[in-house]
Amino acid sequence: MAVVAFISCRSPVDPVKLVLAYFQEIETTRRARTRNVLRLSPVTATSPANPPEIIALARGLFPSVFEIEPPVAHRYKIQARIRNNNKLDSQVLIPELAKCVPSDRGHKVDLENPKMVILVEVFQTVCCMSIVPSWIKYKRYNVVEYVQSLNREEPEGSSQDPRVPRPSGGQLNAETT
């Protein structure tokens, strides 16, 4: 059974920065502090799930990343996931959203190794959108998959349950055994 939970952040907390900080902590500690969380999807802005409103949302959100000064060219990908909505088609929505990315600043579509990913999540009548970095590096913001990938990189014989804290200094002492 899939469960989707929404957690709201009040200003000045940025959901994208919050999720990035959590994944950076996982990268440092090589363990997750969440037991039942599979994926984190930060949401910067929402709108009703109809094409004109979604395009208006994109036009309001994209300048914060794609029109900064001095101009920085980004490789980007648009990742649209539509659930429980029969009126929207991602194959139609993605090209319309791509038109909202300024073409005069050197931004390029890169489906294999994007620097930025435009996440568009439609659930029933609501569209959630954000622009996130490191989406590929952090395994599509999948906590379990990312922890497992880090632990596969460890030397032979040093893997452990990702939820179990490591002792300080990297060695066991009499107090921790």
Is residue 63 a part of any domain in this protein? Answer: yes
Rounded CA separation 123/60 (Å)? 20
pLDDT range class, residue 172, cuts 50, 70, 90? very low
User: Domain count of the chain?
Assistant: 1
**How confident is the model at residue 162, as a pLDDT?**
52
Is residue 175 a part of any domain in this protein? Answer: no
pLDDT digits (tens, 9 = 90+) for 34-65: 988 999 999 999 999 999 999 999 999 999 99
Is residue 134 a part of any domain in this protein? Answer: yes
Check the CA dihedral 120-121-126-132 and report its sign. negative
Is residue 133 a part of any domain in this protein? Answer: yes
- Residues near 27 by Cβ (< 8 Å), separated by ≥ 6? 150
Task: Judge whether 57 and 47 are in contact, CB under 8 Å.
Answer: yes
pLDDT digits (tens, 9 = 90+) for 58-108: 999 999 999 998 889 999 999 999 999 999 999 999 999 999 999 889 999
What is the extent of the structural domain holding 141? Answer: 15-20+38-150
Is residue 177 a part of any domain in this protein? Answer: no
0.75 exceeded by the pTM?
yes
